[in-house]
Structure 1
Amino acid sequence: MVRTTVKTASIRDVAALAEVSVPTVSRFLNNPSRVSEEKQERISQAIAMLGYRPNPVARALVHRQMPSVAVFTTNTTLYGPSLVFEGIEDAAREEGLPLSICVLNGQDRSDLRKSAQLYLDQHPSGVIMLDFDNLDIDMTSLLPENLPVVTVAGDAKKANNQVTLGAERGGYEVTKYLLELGHKTVIHVALPHEGVKYSRMAGWHKACEESNAPIYAPISSDWDPESGVKIGHRLAEDDNVTAIFAGNDIIALGIIRGLNEAGKKVPEDVSVIGFDDQPLSKIWTPKLTTYRMNFIEGGKQAFKLLRTQIGDKQISTENGHVVVPGELIVRDSAKNI
């Protein structure tokens, strides 16, 4: 079979079809106001007919700058951050902008700054910060003041644009749902570094407070599902525990395992609800009731928010906060009492 190749339209092709010079097309692409309306119309039609797309690398060389976006995170293996990055990647691909991902290592400011500087030396046009760990150190303080930044997740940020994924609302809806099933209170098993304002914990606390339900100190877990199993063993010893809200699905599944091993049935004895709607949640026994986070859309919105601040787009001087809502997914792991 003979392989056929499709010739990609070049700026010279556009100029020839529009009957203008190559420099005129270049001016149109970089600053349309410098080109007459009549020529703008002809060039626009030529671009549409040829399916021409400017080469971002070539344009960067001309301007001595490579438009790019750096994504900073402390963990690439967790379910949520990996899907947010997928959303960022999808949006960046549509814009033709390259991405780099920076995994920040270390716990003190000096180590984190060294990790960040390796990528800042590449002069990215902007940074998207994935703050799912909600670190005590303000990560944006490591960046140049004039560099556009958008934070995804984490606690409230005053100094830059932010996309949150409705964690507080989700925590509220999960807790309210359990209380409406007749449970006197809800035990919350919190993720590491849960924040204050936009967190699952904040929503849980608000729902309990509104319903005058007893509020017990949250139980801390780590990212390992084994910690959920141990917590399940411990909570099974207290017959007053009838409803548990876990910070994510993996911890919830661990808790269910621990309760079962200790002789408690879910949902007959204890109702358990997770968070995120990971793939395992719908095939577990029982199928896990959870709160679905729209991580991919969150990534797309973060890129969109950053894109308004960089390149040839209109620069925004006002800080923005975009909330990407989720939804409660009712399955089989919670019941009324």
Structure 2
Amino acid sequence: MVVADEGKARAVTIFDVARLAGVSHQTVSRVLNDLPNVRPSTRERVEKAIAQLRYTPSQAARALVTRRSRTIGLIQTGGPDYGPSSTLLYFNEAAREARYAVSIASMLEADAAALRSAAELLLRQNVEAIVLIASTAKDVASLAHEELGVPLIVVAPHEEGSAASVAIDHYAGARAAVAHLAELGHVDIRHVSGPEQSLEARERVRGWRDELSARGLVATPVLTGDWSPASGYLHGQSLRTSPATAVFVANDQMALGVIHSLRDGGLSVPGDVSIVGFDDIPEAAHFSPPLTTVRQDFVRLGRDVMATVLAQLDDDAELPRTAITPSVIERESTRSRSE
């Protein structure tokens, strides 16, 4: 039998059977191989789906549950920004050290169908687990509720109980950035954020607001950027005429644009306005002035993600939530108001 696929006919696959039966492709493979540990009711559903779709299994499908590939699937959504790219790089390194290969699917914009298709492509390669470096909550939800049949590890701030997660604690990093500025005597601390749909940007906004509130300071409306220096420059123009003496910027590239814009408006950094970024990109120490920023430990993040993968492959029943606290790196873009 064939099924429709965006207007084109294609052969029925083990994943079509799994979807119709409401089980994982591994469960379908267990039924095909007449293996134990399948409930009778589940086996009956799978057999009905096989009959309904007139599915004929291939040798590859029969082997899906019986061999190990030592390959991890990785799906990355969003643009090639410093944080996600660094996470991918150091996870690859950690996987290589553990003698695993990584098969990667990257996409700038992902809907549920595209993510499901990417996951199925990886599962056809018999990956042992899937790591999702997600840019939005929608991306996480699209896969976290799928029956993949292999462990799913999300690299993003994530609270749902359907997948393990490892992430940088962006909330704590933002609070530390604001605390640094407040302790220098700044009381009007603005925020240039990342895109509204970004999980990381949301956590940084939340940390900025909560730290201001804890200190009895007022949070003004957020200036929403898109992670680019150009959006930082644009918001810097409105900051030229504001009474703010400090700005927490959600990434270093936007911070560069803010500094450029303020200087074009005749203001000094840090003489008139102190700036804190986020990420500690390699260029941050060479900005003019060198940028105070929040450093993320991507080496540790990559290792922690791989450690979580291995724990899940060892049938660890827990779904851990690991958050790595970043640190403020003080440089010359911030100073005390009294200086």
TM-score w.r.t. the length of structure 1 is: 0.76
CA contact (8 A) 2:70 2:99 kept: no
CA contact (8 A) 2:145 2:162 kept: no
CA contact (8 A) 1:187 1:216 kept: yes
Cα deviation for residue 197 of structure 1 reads 10
Give the equivalent residue in structure 2 for 1:123.
126
Partner deviation per Cα, 1:125-184 (whole Å, 9 max, x = no partner): 101111234446613246434320111123433321111212111100110111111111
Return the alpha-carbon distance in structure 1 between the equivalents of residues 230 and 137 of structure 2. 22
Give the equivalent residue in structure 1 for 2:235.
231
Which of 250, 255, 260 is 1:257 aligned to? 260
Give the equivalent residue in structure 1 for 2:330.
330
CA contact (8 A) 2:193 2:223 kept: yes
Q: Structure 1's 62 and 217: CA in aligned 2 closer, same or farther, altered over 3 A?
A: closer
CA contact (8 A) 2:111 2:139 kept: no
Give the equivalent residue in structure 1 for 2:284.
281
Return the alpha-carbon distance in structure 1 between the equivalents of residues 65 and 111 of structure 2. 39
The aligned runs of 1:215-226 (5 Å cut-off) are: 215-226=219-230
Return the alpha-carbon distance in structure 2 between the equivalents of residues 180 and 260 of structure 1. 24
Return the alpha-carbon distance in structure 2 between the equivalents of residues 107 and 235 of structure 1. 34
**Displaced runs of 4 or more, over 6 A:** none
Return the alpha-carbon distance in structure 2 between the equivalents of residues 331 and 106 of structure 1. 35
Q: Structure 1's 230 and 211: CA in aligned 2 closer, same or farther, altered over 3 A?
A: same
User: 1:279 is aligned with what amino acid?
Assistant: P
- The more displaced of 215-224 and 100-109 is 100-109
Q: Find the residue that maps to 1:123 and give its secondary structure.
A: coil
Give the equivalent residue in structure 2 for 1:90.
93
User: 1:330 is aligned with what amino acid?
Assistant: E
More strand by share: 2
Q: Structure 1's 332 and 73: CA in aligned 2 closer, same or farther, altered over 3 A?
A: same
Q: Find the residue that maps to 1:128 and give its secondary structure.
A: strand
Return the alpha-carbon distance in structure 2 between the equivalents of residues 125 and 76 of structure 1. 26
The aligned runs of 1:133-148 (5 Å cut-off) are: 133-135=136-138, 138-141=141-144, 143-148=146-151
Return the alpha-carbon distance in structure 1 between the equivalents of residues 159 and 214 of structure 2. 22
Q: Find the residue that maps to 1:150 and give its secondary structure.
A: strand
- The more displaced of 63-72 and 252-261 is 63-72
Measured on the aligned residues, the alpha-carbon RMSD in Å equals: 2.3
Give the equivalent residue in structure 2 for 1:176.
179
Give the equivalent residue in structure 1 for 2:218.
214
User: 1:247 is aligned with what amino acid?
Assistant: A
CA contact (8 A) 2:194 2:250 kept: yes
Give the equivalent residue in structure 2 for 1:316.
316
Cα deviation for residue 289 of structure 1 reads 0.2
User: 2:133 is aligned with what amino acid?
Assistant: L
Give the equivalent residue in structure 1 for 2:203.
199
Q: Find the residue that maps to 1:138 and give its secondary structure.
A: helix
User: 1:220 is aligned with what amino acid?
Assistant: T
Q: Find the residue that maps to 1:309 and give its secondary structure.
A: helix
Q: Find the residue that maps to 1:231 and give its secondary structure.
A: helix
Return the alpha-carbon distance in structure 1 between the equivalents of residues 261 and 204 of structure 2. 22
Q: Find the residue that maps to 1:129 and give its secondary structure.
A: strand
Q: Find the residue that maps to 2:312 and give its secondary structure.
A: coil
Return the alpha-carbon distance in structure 2 between the equivalents of residues 126 and 270 of structure 1. 47
Return the alpha-carbon distance in structure 2 between the equivalents of residues 138 and 216 of structure 1. 31
Give the equivalent residue in structure 1 for 2:163.
160
Q: How many residues align?
A: 274
User: 2:225 is aligned with what amino acid?
Assistant: S
Partner deviation per Cα, 1:55-110 (whole Å, 9 max, x = no partner): xxxxx999534231011111462111121112211221122111011113544322
Partner deviation per Cα, 1:234-264 (whole Å, 9 max, x = no partner): 11121x1111001010111111011111111
Return the alpha-carbon distance in structure 2 between the equivalents of residues 323 and 207 of structure 1. 19
List alignment gaps of at least 5 residues for structure 1.
1-59
Partner deviation per Cα, 1:209-245 (whole Å, 9 max, x = no partner): 101101112111002211111111111121x111100
Return the alpha-carbon distance in structure 1 between the equivalents of residues 82 and 262 of structure 2. 24
TM-score w.r.t. the length of structure 2 is: 0.75
- The more displaced of 156-165 and 139-148 is 139-148
Cα deviation for residue 274 of structure 1 reads 0.1
Cα deviation for residue 299 of structure 1 reads 1.3
